[in-house]
């Protein structure tokens, strides 16, 4: 899902941002998974300071969009969910970050 944003009041071309990656927890998870191949749910929760319920909901959105893949396994009889970024997720994140950079550059230009 893409959303068009206008920078300030200046007459600037639109920049498309991925709505799914606009949420702090979702972009945080995507960036962390781009840096590390696999992260467990508890590790993501600790790094992103999220609650179980909120992170679970955000990760499900990324999973439904095909941006992340989840894998469940048992460690010492306890279930552990591991997440990894898919090729689609990597492309989306890369595009989103490039667009963010453009947006920031334009915003700087508009401020000056």
Partner 1 sequence: MDHFERLEGDLRFVRGALDASTKSASPSALYFLWAAVVLVGFVLVDFQPDLVTEYWTIAGPAGFFASAYLGWRHARQTGQASASDGRRHVLHWAAVLVAVALAVLLARDGGMPPGTLQAVILLLLSLGYFTAGLHLDRRLLWVGFLMGVGSIVVTVVSLYAWTMVGIALAVSLVVAGMWEGRSREATT
Q: Give whichever of 20 and 27 is closer to partner 1, judged by the CB atom.
A: 27
Binding status of residue 31 toward partner 1 by CB under 8 A: yes
Among 47, 57, 70, 87, binds partner 1 (CB under 8 A): 47
Minimum distance from residue 73 beta carbon to partner 1 (Å):
9
Cα–Cα distance, 18 to 95 (Å, whole number): 8
Binding status of residue 107 toward partner 1 by CB under 8 A: yes
Minimum distance from residue 47 beta carbon to partner 1 (Å):
5
Cα–Cα distance, 91 to 68 (Å, whole number): 12
Cα–Cα distance, 44 to 46 (Å, whole number): 5
- For the chain, the residue count is 112
Cα–Cα distance, 102 to 42 (Å, whole number): 33
Query: Which parts of 64-93 interact with partner 1 (CB under 8 A)?
Result: 75, 80, 82
Cα–Cα distance, 9 to 27 (Å, whole number): 26
Binding status of residue 48 toward partner 1 by CB under 8 A: yes
Contact stretch for partner 1 (CB under 8 A) within 28-36, 57-65, 85-93: 28-36
Cα–Cα distance, 31 to 13 (Å, whole number): 26
Binding status of residue 57 toward partner 1 by CB under 8 A: no
């Amino acid at each position: 899902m893409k959303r068009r944003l206008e920078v300030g009041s200046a007459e600037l071309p639109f920049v498309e941002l991925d709505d799914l990656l606009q949420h702090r927890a979702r972009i945080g998870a995507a960036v962390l998974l781009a840096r590390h191949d696999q992260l467990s749910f508890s590790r993501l929760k600790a790094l992103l300071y999220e609650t179980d319920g909120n992170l679970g909901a955000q990760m499900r959105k990324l999973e439904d969009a095909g941006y992340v893949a989840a894998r469940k396994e048992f460690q010492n009889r306890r279930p552990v969910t591991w997440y990894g970024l898919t090729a689609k997720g990597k492309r989306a994140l890369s595009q989103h970050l490039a667009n963010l950079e453009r947006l920031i550059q334009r915003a700087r230009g508009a401020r000056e």
